[in-house]
Amino acid sequence: MREIVFDTETTGLDPSVERVIEIGGVELWNHIPTGREFHVFIRPEGRKVDPAAFDVHGISDEFLADKPVFSEVLDDFLDFFSEGRLIAHNATFDMRFLNAELARLGRPPIGMERVLDTLAMARRKFPMAPATLDALCSRFSIDTSRRDKHGALLDSQLLADVYIELIGGRQAALGLVFGADAAAEDAGTDAGVQRIAPRPRRLAPRLTEADAARHLAFVESFGEEAIWWRYLERPAKADAEIPAG
């Protein structure tokens, strides 16, 4: 299943007059980042960045002066966002702005049935607890040291980690470790790797000798080329008899 975790930055808060100035997106496949990302800055035609918005994201009019307008990035945007579930934090805000930009160009809106809001997810999972992106990163011990201002791509990367935690993704990974954790494991260190202590004594087997003999007889019924013989020791013919009971 393809999913796009995304974020936007804008000139202000009202999508009827304000404009999108940054879009970032991270592609997931079956909840695992593929490494494919989308990132663009956009010049807001005829609109200046509101000072309050600048305080949040730090994107200035001067910085945006030579950036493409939305119509010039539309095809790349649609190519990346056209398929899969869309995931955003406070998704209604981002979708209102994106659909306003599409409407200005006479393009159909993106339906909200494709969108999953991680803010709503977090509020259901942790009632009464803070549910900002920063608060969720802190809850899940996700490193935000690179984040001094809001940024669409960085926030999308952080949100992808938060989303995976919200759906129990680390547990679903069955103990696989990646990146720094995998390197630490290969180096024989414990940094970032959760290890499970072995049992002090092995559990008593629940398979009886009669069960084992019946299984061997069953395997033999498939002939000499049965794939099970790659994993079983071939018994003497007498050992393959099925015991009574």
In the chain, the domains with their CATH numbers are 2-186 (3.30.420.10), 209-237 (no CATH)
Query: Which pairing describes strands 85-88 and 115-117: parallel, antiparallel, or unpaired?
Result: parallel
The yes-or-no answer on residue 150 being catalytic is: yes
Question: Helices in 65-141 by DSSP H: which ranges?
Answer: 70-81, 91-104, 118-125, 133-139
Looking at residue 237, its pLDDT comes to 56
Confidence of residue 222 (pLDDT cuts 50, 70, 90): confident
Instruction: Supply φ then ψ for residue 181, to 5 degrees.
Output: -65, -45
Task: Give whole-number Cα distances, 116 to 76, 88, 159, in Å.
Answer: 22, 7, 12
Distance CA 206, CA 199 (A): 17
Residue 64 has pLDDT above 50, yes or no: yes
Which residues are within 8 A (CB) of 39 and not within 5 positions of it... i.e. 6 or more apart?
22, 23, 24, 25, 152, 153
Cα angle 134-86-149, degrees, rounded to a multiple of 5 = 30
- Give pLDDT tens digits for 151-194: 899 999 999 999 999 998 665 444 444 444 444 444 444 444 44
Q: For the sheet containing 115-117, what is the strand order?
A: 32-41, 20-29, 2-10, 85-88, 115-117
Confidence of residue 150 (pLDDT cuts 50, 70, 90): confident
Share of the chain above pLDDT 70, in %: 79
- 8-state DSSP, 202: P
For 130: left if phi > 0, alpha if psi spans -120 to 50, otherwise beta; the answer is beta
Instruction: Supply φ then ψ for residue 60, to 5 degrees.
Output: -100, 160
Bridge partners of residue 27, in order along the sequence: 4
User: Catalytic residue among 31, 39, 150, 215, which?
Assistant: 150
**Amino acid identity, position 15:** P
